[in-house]
A and B are shown apart, each in its own frame.
Chain A
Amino acid sequence: MTTANRPAARKLSARLAEQPLSRLAAGLGAIVLAISGFFGGLEPTQVPTTPTAVLDQPIDAGPWRVTIIGSRLLGDLRPLVSLSDEDNHWLVVQLTVEVIADETWTGLDSIVRLSGVDGIESARPEHVVLSRDLTKVRRLHPGMPEKLSLLWEQQGDAVTPLQVELFIAGRTHRLDSLTGRMEWKPEDEPRALLVVPVEDRREQK
């Protein structure tokens, strides 16, 4: 700084020092915001899109790891489950689920959501069946992946799908703001989306 600029600089610093702190803080914040614009700070946020997955691809979704195997239409499955109307049929999604959390997991019907299928009452399956011995289950234990079948009853007069959209739900282990405890909380966005072809096996037993 030259001798001629010193009085001007001293005058500027003196004027700055005389400003209220709140005004100085606001000015500093504006400068930081402007600088951040050069590093993408003012870019519009990206809307998250659901990642797509394919058959036989393991998907980590928090407390569980899911692998979709396939989907089919089936007819009468008595005595395991009964249709509410004999003209209806079952839409079945087969998958492998491994509990990777440290405790038995219940709520198996919340892992997969069905979308865009006509004649289905709920996105959640009505039954969860263990393929090993065809028992209906609600619990799956850590360290033992099992093949499951999820069942939805479809109206007989509805359009039978050639393919279905499946959303894999995820959970995050985080602090619950109400209870103060660490819990597996549902995520707003699904972990993955799959489009699965449907085999029609209603005539087969």
Chain B
Amino acid sequence: MNAPVSRHRRPLWRIWRGMGSVALTLLALAIGQAIIAATPDVDRSERPFLKSGPMGAEVDARSFTASVVGVRSSRIIKERGVEHDTQGVWVVVKVKITAGTEPVLINYAALHDGRGRTFLATDRLRQPIADAARTFQPGIAVEGEIAFEVPADTTGLSLRLAESSGARLMDATTDVALPPGPLWLDPQPVTLDPPVVSS
């Protein structure tokens, strides 16, 4: 026959049991928080898919392919007889774009630099192919230029193009590195070439 539990021990046992419940609850919460911290956040899990490639090579961006044909830079860009200067540098990128199976608009055009900054195509002048200015038809390659304005000290530029705009959640985006090193500045004002169908 077991000895009865002394009267003054029963209340203390209840307190210990309560504290144990609290401790287990806190432990469960801590484990849950650790799991949350270890899993990728939404920004990372839904980020755009970057499709890389060297200059001159075709990069597949799901609904279109793009290749960087050339790069020019200058301190002044001219449009319709009006000169636009900049405190930074104008970078003009010539690209060849071919839509896949359906007509495509390029709604996102940006330069990404080595410091993690993103520069959208300039809106100080009319863009002939960026900002959904032109519809690209399936199978027809079109060469055109996109103008960007970047700080003079920027390096490590890469061209990013996508069909969707804004957050571009889980959408394909090109990521083509431009020539490294300081940009050579054309002493003359540059003008954007009109888009042409490429053979």
Contacts and interface: CB of A to CB of B under 8 A. Distances in A.
A58 B97 CA distance: 43
B42 A179 contact: yes
Contacts of B42: 179-181
A105 to B, nearest CB: 9
7 contacts: A18-B11, A21-B14, A21-B15, A21-B18, A104-B110, A141-B122, A180-B42
A143 B41 contact: no
A139 interface: yes
Contacts of A137: 123-124
Contacts, number: 72
A142 B118 CA distance: 8
B14 A132 contact: no
A144 B8 contact: no
Contacts of B84: 132-133, 135
Interface in B88-121: 88, 110, 115-120
A135 B124 contact: yes
A130 B18 contact: no
Contact of B151 (A21, A102, A143, A182): A143
B8 A141 contact: no
Interface in A99-133: 102-104, 106, 130, 132-133
Chain B interface residue count: which class? 20 to 34
B87 A139 contact: no
Contacts of A104: 110, 118-120
Contacts of B122: 139, 141
A17 B124 contact: no
A133 B124 CA distance: 9
Nearest to B22: A21
Tell me what chain A mostly uses at the interface: helix, strand, loop, or mixed.
loop
A185 interface: no
B43 A182 contact: yes
A141 B14 contact: no
A142 B116 CA distance: 11
A14 interface: yes
Contacts of A132: 84-86
Interface in B47-97: 82-88
Contacts of A174: none
A102 B118 contact: yes
Contacts of A10: 8
Interface string A156-195: 0000000000000000000000011110000000000000
Nearest to A139: B123
A17 B123 contact: no
Q: Which 9 A-B residue pairings sit nearest by Cβ, starting from the closest?
A: A17-B11, A180-B42, A104-B120, A103-B118, A143-B151, A21-B18, A142-B117, A18-B11, A139-B123
B3 interface: no
B123 A138 contact: yes
B88 A17 contact: no
B15 A17 contact: yes
B11 A14 contact: yes
A146 to B, nearest CB: 8
A204 B95 CA distance: 46
B163 interface: no
